[in-house]
Structure 1
Amino acid sequence: MSAAGPDGAAPAEANGGKTLAALVVAVFVYALMQTVVVPALKVLETGLHTTSAAAAWILTAFLLSSAVLTPVLGRLGDQYGKRRVILAVLAVYTVGMAGAVASQNIGQLIAARVLQGAALAVVPLSMAILREALPVRRLPFAMGLVSGVVGAGAGAGLIVGGLLADHLSWRWLFVLGTVLALVSLVLAALWVPADRRTAPGGIDMPGTVLLGGSLVAILLALAKGPSWGWSSGRVLGLLAIGVVLFVALVAVERSRRDALIDVAELADRPMLMTHMAAFLFGAGSYFFYLALPLYAQQRPAGTGVGFGASVTEAGLLMLAGALAVIPAGMAVGRLATALGPRWPMAGGFTLITAASVLFALAHDHKWQHAVFYAVVGVGTGLVIGVLPKLIADIVPLERTGTANGLNNIARTVGSAVGTALAAAVIASANAPRGATPDSTYTTLFWLAAAAGALGVVAAFLAVRRRVAADAPAAGAARPQQPQTAK
């Protein structure tokens, strides 16, 4: 009997490793292609003979689609099988990538980007699959690794996008995406196991429609505010519609047994602060995503600001930060076990805040960009690595996909807010294109510091609660100590 344990454990360990590998690839592909178009927007605008306003929809359509589909797909995964849903998502993603390669005009490319937006659901679905498929002792490491890949892939996308935009046609952005999406689909089909447990209930159509409508209205207002004007009737009307729909969503969900949004769960302080931390992280990240490449590519003639770097060089200045995310995310498991999950989050936001302050005080040399952003990368890995751990400590197994989906939406909305604020700050400078004053960049870095500081506060309020063991793989042997804010 004693030999049976190891013999039986070895295949399980191997299968768990293959599952983790398949999910890492799928999440990396999503994260890479999320940002790969950012440095290539001007190339896309020229290649498709369109306007800057129309080209901006390449990002906006992806953002809106992600926000609407992610919580719904997370819920479907909890109810009908996470393997089934993640395979469907990757198949749709592959079609969206192939459609982008074949696009002949901006309308077709935007439609393809809508399909691609479904891929954000890969992240919460992966967290839910890991929670069920892996033993408890490997779960913190695996979640930290997958979370780290999200940040590293997003950073790598800026570099890869710059390389392809500088040296090849814009279509190669999506040729790469198609190949990678196919690889991830095959690996998931081979190595992601069937579900052992699903949630009861049906599809909450009223909640789905209200949540989707609210997110579309709010995100569209944030995306178009800089160009339409924040006081315009269209922006104010969209914001009002979004708020009204959200209030209606809360009212409807309180009375439903199969609610998409568990209002009591959402109002619980640890969960609320975990979502707030994701929101603040998303906002702070996009201050860097917009400010650093813009500064690096700006020519110093006239203003003395910028390095005059190519798109590729601007991306390479962020390489150290992108690479630092993964090892930091992988370290979260040990740190959380030793210190509690609030401390990696607080430490991560502290590093981001410190680096933001350093950027605000000194950013006129390339080494400062490389070194300070590497510090941001370490902080990023800690924050995004611990978020799924906090959620897993709060919600039962059957709501893991839904809860992680909502957390990703909080980060997406934060990204939209950060993008809108950054665009407003840049526009307020009233400077000619390519002549943004140094004070504008300093303001953006101080905004990033403010987001990081608020994140530190949220970290100490996102306290892990005692939870009942919800499944043998997720917590049957995991003793939990109640924690209180200190």
Structure 2
Amino acid sequence: MSGTRAAPERAATRPRLVVGVLAFCGVVVAVMQTLVVPLLPHVPELTGSTPTAASWLITITLLSGAVCTPVLGRLGDMYGKRRVLLASLGVLVAGSVLCAASSHIGVLIAGRACQGAALAVVPLGISILRDELDPARMLPAVALMSSTLGIGAAVGLPAAALVVEYSDWHTMFWVSAGLGLLDIVLVLCFVPESPLRSPGRFDVLGAAGLSAGLVALLLAVTQGGDWGWASGRTLGLLAGCAVIWPLWGWYELRVRAPMMDLRVSARPAVLLTNVAALLIGFAFYANSLVTAQLVQEPTSTGYGLGASLVVSSLCLLPGGLAMVALSPVSARISAAFGPKVTLAVAAGCMAVGYGVRYFTSHALWSIIVGATVVAAGTAIAYSALPALVMRAVPACATASANGLNTLMRSIGQACCSAVVAAVLSGLTVRVDGRTVPTFHAYLLLFLVAAGAALLALAVTLCLPGHAAPARPRFLGRAADADPRPRAGRRP
């Protein structure tokens, strides 16, 4: 019994350290997702590979993150969130060392796959915060943890650009390995293990089906532009999705302890939140993808600024700082008016930001202002999404539910990447002997991203005002059997 109480006492005495450590882990993991973006144009020359092979440094990270996030979230709910969190960070370190020690494209792709798997750190951290903090501290802490996905992306791009510009590119992977090791030490020292567990056996077949469906879907979305949307590979993967997903759903509805409780996921409070997460992920990623490329276009295009890689990446830094500043503001709005209002405000802010970008993308300062407004909306949205999820699911399913929500953001980002590539390659003009996107292509992307934000706003307004947490059917009476208060909270 004493062993059960030790973790709550540790968390209760050092809540700020717990929050700070987990937020730092989230930022490090988010930085890993965008680390190679500035390096990508140089990868074929540096590794002796092709541009198609180089693109897999991004694709494989998306795939491994999408597959591992819900699976590791479920494992965390069942076997211990801190334990799975440490394993995820260990995989991140291993992947970073692989990338740092080699210039072979195959090894780099394997290392990037390991780095992508660590995306599960964010939903696991959110779940730990829910278990260990009292309600007054929990909402702002979760808001900060969720926002680390955007903060890390905004900070990681300029940092990686500086390394690519002024140092050996392997350096950034050695640094990421060191940061991952520091994360592991901090978690071991300051983050307790939650005593909350979700009973039952791990659904291996359900995890395999989910992984197969996600890989087929995301490969079709991310590679369809290169392969051709009517090619045999793309159509084959989409046909595979049409077979895998219904069979997986049929199985999950019948197994006693499913990988994903579809009855809970289908509740309006959960389903609509996940749809909004997908749309928000789409709108957020357009800001990151388009900004750097727009300002780097040559001045001969009539709209480009001819900025360097470092300058273009720094355009996103004010947005990252805005995310840090606004995550506690988001928590206050949620505490006062509810996370539904917060998400609606965020989606509206993102749409306004793209409106600013549509009309003022002619000078560097106005581009930075528009990008920062979109980032501000993203910070508020990312802070509100886990609060909406946690209102609608039981505490023992927090990691897996937030893992699904994070997955939906990743799918939104994958769809955005495909749309951006299609538009920028489809609307082009010849300038100085090279093919570049037209300015109308960028304006169209701003309209599409604004439309995604407005759709997210519409979906948010359809959310039920209040939702009582659902109890998964596989828990039976076990969820109510333990009368102990939740770790770190007042009984």
For structure 1, the 5+ residue unaligned runs are 1-8, 479-486
Shift of 1:44: 2.4
Q: Give the corresponding residue for 1:465.
A: 467
Find the counterpart in structure 1 of residue 399 from structure 2. Answer: 401
Q: Which residue type is aligned with residue 318 of structure 2?
A: A
Q: Does 1:453 align with 2:451?
A: no
Offset, 1:11: 6.4
What amino acid is the match of 1:345?
L
Match of 1:481 in 2: none
Counterpart of 1:201 in 2: which secondary structure? Answer: coil
Partners in 2 of 1:322 and 1:304 — Cα distance? Answer: 29
Q: Deviations over 1:60-86 (max 9, x none)?
A: 011111111111110000000111111
Partners of 2:209 and 2:54 lie apart in 1 by 28
Q: Which residue of 2 aligns with 1:6?
A: none
* Stretch of structure 1 that moved more, 329-338 or 200-209: 329-338
| Partner in structure 2 of residue 96 of structure 1 | 95
Structure 1, 227-236 or 43-52: larger mean CA deviation: 43-52
How big is the shift at 1:316? Answer: 1.2
Q: Which secondary structure state, in structure 2, belongs to the residue aligned with residue 50 of structure 1? A: coil
Q: Is residue 287–residue 448 contact of structure 1 (8 Å, CA) maintained in 2? A: yes
C-alpha offsets along residues 165-190 of structure 1, whole Å, 9 cap, x if unaligned? 11112212211211111111110111
Q: 2:110, 2:88 → 1: CA distance?
A: 16
Partner residue in 2 for 1:183: 182
Could you tell me how far apart the structure 2 residues matched to 1:242 and 1:162 are?
A: 37
Determine if contact 2:70/2:407 at 8 Å carries over to the other structure: yes
Post-superposition shift, 1:202? 0.9
Matches within 5 A, 1:205-284: 205-284=204-283
Note closer, same or farther for the CA distance 1:174–1:232 as it changes in structure 2 (3 Å cut).
Answer: same
Q: CA deviation at 1:10?
A: 9.4
Question: 1:148–1:328: 8 Å Cα contact kept in structure 2?
Answer: no
- Indicate the residue corresponding to 1:3 in structure 2: none
Q: 1:219 to 1:174 in 2, by over 3 A?
A: same
Would the aligned equivalents of 1:346 and 1:459 in 2 still touch at CA under 8 Å? yes
Q: Which amino acid aligns with 1:205?
A: V
Residue 231 (structure 1) shift: 1.4
User: How far 1:240 moved relative to its partner?
Assistant: 1.6
Change in CA separation of 1:145 and 1:203 when aligned onto 2, cut-off 3 Å: same
Aligned residues: 470
Take 2:317 and 2:218, find their aligned partners in 1: how far apart are those partners?
29
Q: Is the 8 A contact 1:216 1:242 kept in 2?
A: no
Per the normalisation by structure 1, the TM-score is 0.93
- For residues 252 and 468 of structure 1, the distance between their equivalents in structure 2, rounded to whole angstroms, comes to 21
- One of 359, 377, 380 as aligned partner of 2:378: 380
Return the alpha-carbon distance in structure 1 between the equivalents of residues 242 and 293 of structure 2.
33
Distance 2:435 2:390 in 1: 46
What root-mean-square deviation, in Å, do the aligned CA atoms of Structure 1 and Structure 2 show?
Answer: 1.9
Note if 1:442 corresponds to 2:440: no
Match of 2:309 in 1: 311
Q: Distance in 2 between matches of 1:339 and 1:141?
A: 14
Greater CA drift, 283-292 or 244-253: 283-292
Aligned AA for 2:92?
Y
Of stretches 177-186 and 459-468 in structure 1, the one that deviates more from structure 2 is: 459-468
Deviation at residue 429 of structure 1 after TM alignment: 1.4
The 1:334–1:472 alpha-carbon spacing in structure 2 relative to 1, beyond 3 Å, is farther
Contact 1:136 1:475 (C-alpha < 8 Å) held by counterparts: no
Which residue of 331, 336, 340 corresponds with 1:342? 340
| Preserved CA contact (<8 Å) 1:81 1:195 | yes
Distance 2:411 2:371 in 1: 23
Supply the distance in 1 between the matched residues of 2:469 and 2:240 (Cα, whole angstroms).
37
User: Bigger CA drift: 455-464 or 465-474?
Assistant: 465-474
Per-residue deviation at 1:45? 2.6
The normalised TM-score by structure 2 is: 0.92
1:483 matched residue in structure 2: none
Question: 2:366 aligned with 1:368, yes or no?
Answer: yes
Structure 1 counterpart of 2:420: 422
Give the Å deviation of 1:476: 7.9
Counterpart for residue 16 of structure 1: 15
Encode CA deviations 1:72-129: one digit per residue, 9 max, x unaligned.
1100000001111111111111011011101231011001111111111101100110
Residue 330 of structure 1 corresponds to which residue in structure 2?
328
Alpha-carbon distance, 1:13 to partner: 4.1
Aligned amino acid, residue 45 of structure 2 = T
SS at match of 2:306: coil
Q: Give a deviation string over 1:261-320, Cα, whole Å, max 9, x none.
A: 11111111110111111100111122122211111111111x212110011100111211
Q: How does 1:150-189 map to 2 (within 5 A)?
A: 150-189=149-188
Is the partner of 1:38 in helix, strand or coil?
coil
CA contact (8 A) 2:12 2:488 kept: no
- Change in Cα spacing, 1:11 to 1:400, as seen in structure 2 (3 Å) is closer
Distance 1:94 1:396 in 2: 32
Alignment-mate amino acid for residue 273 of structure 1: L
Shift of 1:362: 2.1
Contact 1:270 1:461 in 2 (8 A): no
What amino acid does structure 1 have at the position aligned with 2:452?
Answer: A
Aligned partner letter, 1:100: C
- CA 1:119–1:158: 2 relative to 1, 3 Å: same
The one-letter code sitting in structure 2 at the alignment partner of 1:439 is H
**CA distance 1:10–1:112, shift in 2 (3 Å):** closer
* Aligned residues of 1:144 and 1:330 also touching (Cα < 8 A): yes
* Residues 22, 191 of structure 1: 8 Å contact kept: yes
Q: Deviations over 1:401-450 (max 9, x none)?
A: 10011111111111100000111101111445562210000011111100
1:484 maps to what in 2?
none
- 2:3 paired residue number: none
Whether the 8 Å CA contact 2:288–2:316 is kept in 1: the answer is no
